[in-house]
């Protein structure tokens, strides 16, 4: 299923919010560029590459409520949660394991663990519409997941190291 | 990939060890029979149904080292870990979430969690050869996983209920 692209109103991403200023966005860019095996995205700016993560409210309305996720959106979902795991590792100094289960219908679950502690457990649904209103929102949601995970590690330090 | 069947030496399963005497085997039988939607296995004994979980040393040697798991073996794997989760629930009175991730090559991971506690985390490999030497071994491995999980819950009761 194709995601609608930016409308005639202009690009979906504002230039001023595209600078990957936060640790989460920096990590995301690193992950995306790391998969650019053939250098096809070398000329693309960070803003261009992050734009695929953005679905504005208008774009979201155009996407059917039910739909199978395409490989691109599954790839973005994977990158997003890998990135959450990596930033948790940076912040906590502990190794995080990621397990993601996904049906072809876009329904699934992601679990991040460290030691015996579940640092993130999330049911995934409507994955074919995975995206964020703005880059700022993307950074905020990612940072929130990381913060919650780090708080859990601080609350149960012995379990996280078990 | 077809798993070799019982050899000329006799059936792979001894009659005397097939009685599903342990809570784990009882649960396994219930899970298997629950999926018999059309009653095709009504005439089959418990021993017949459990026999698919058994791979003797001789049979294992006949299976190639590398191979893609077929749907049947994935189904048995799913049933096995579902059962581990269910018996942990019976023993602990807590709800257990199961997340299983599997590549088409038979490499993956299973994570069982309750609350914020990881009660089981296992890397899966060579899934196309998933099976046990005997029914007794199957029951023992299952019970061991359950015991370890229950011990973890007892060690970290507040995390399991977080």
Rg (CA), chain B: 16
Q: Which residue of A has its CA nearest to B149?
A: A116
CATH code 3.40.1080.10 for A19-161: no
Which residues from chain A sit within 8 angstroms of residue B97, using beta carbons?
109, 111, 121
Residue extents of the structural domains in chain B: 19-161
**Would you call B115 an interface residue with chain A, using a CB distance cutoff of 8 Å?**
yes
User: In chain B, helix, strand, coil percent, each to 5?
Assistant: 50, 15, 40
Q: Say what percent of chain A tops pLDDT 70.
A: 88
CB contact under 8 A, A100 and B101: yes
DSSP A2: P
- Answer whether B78's CB lies under 8 Å from B99's CB: no
Q: Is the pLDDT of residue A93 over 50?
A: yes
Q: Is A89 exposed, middle or buried (0-12, 13-18, 19+ CB in 10 A)?
A: middle
Q: Is the pLDDT of residue A19 over 90?
A: no
Rg (CA), chain A: 16
Report the gap between the CA of A99 and the closest CA in chain B (Å): 6
- B82 vs A14, which has greater pLDDT? B82
- Token digits for B142? 């299952």
Q: In what order do the strands lie in the sheet with B97-102?
A: A97-102, A108-114, A117-124, B117-124, B108-114, B97-102
Nearest to B3 by CA among B108, B106, B109, B140: B106
DSSP B129: G
> Which A-chain residues 23-82 have CB contacts (< 8 A) with chain B?
none
Report the pLDDT averaged over residues A24-45.
92
CA–chain centroid gap for B142, Å, is 7
Q: A101 forms bridges with which residues in the sheet?
A: A109
Nearest to B88 by CA among B38, B144, B158, B17: B144
Which residues from chain A sit within 8 angstroms of residue B159, using beta carbons?
116-117, 156, 159
ipTM exceeding 0.90, yes/no: no
CB contact under 8 A, B117 and A113: no
C-alpha B139/C-alpha B136 separation (Å) is 5
Which residues from chain A sit within 8 angstroms of residue B101, using beta carbons?
99-101
C-alpha B83/C-alpha B98 separation (Å) is 10
Report the gap between the CA of A108 and the closest CA in chain B (Å): 9
Per-residue pLDDT of chain B (162 residues; tens, 9 = 90+): 444 444 444 445 554 454 567 889 999 999 999 999 999 999 999 889 999 999 999 999 999 888 899 999 999 999 999 999 999 999 999 999 999 998 888 899 999 999 999 999 999 999 999 999 999 999 999 999 999 999 999 999 999 998
């Amino acid at each position: 299923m194709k995601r609608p692209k930016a409308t005639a109103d202009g690009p979906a991403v504002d230039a001023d919010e595209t600078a990957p200023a936060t640790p989460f966005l920096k990590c995301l860019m690193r992950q995306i560029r790391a998969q650019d095996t053939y250098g096809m995205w070398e000329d693309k700016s960070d803003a261009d590459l992050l734009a695929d993560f953005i679905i504005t409210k208008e774009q979201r309305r155009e996407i059917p409520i039910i739909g199978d996720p395409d490989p691109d959106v599954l790839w973005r979902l994977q990158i997003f949660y890998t990135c959450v795991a990596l930033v948790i590792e940076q912040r906590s100094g502990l190794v995080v394991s990621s397990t993601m289960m996904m049906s072809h219908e876009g329904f699934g679950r992601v679990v991040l663990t460290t030691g015996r502690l579940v640092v993130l457990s999330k049911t995934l649904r409507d994955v074919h519409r995975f995206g964020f209103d703005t880059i700022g929102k993307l950074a905020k949601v990612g940072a929130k997941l990381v913060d919650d995970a780090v708080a859990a590690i601080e609350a149960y330090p012995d379990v996280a190291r078990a």
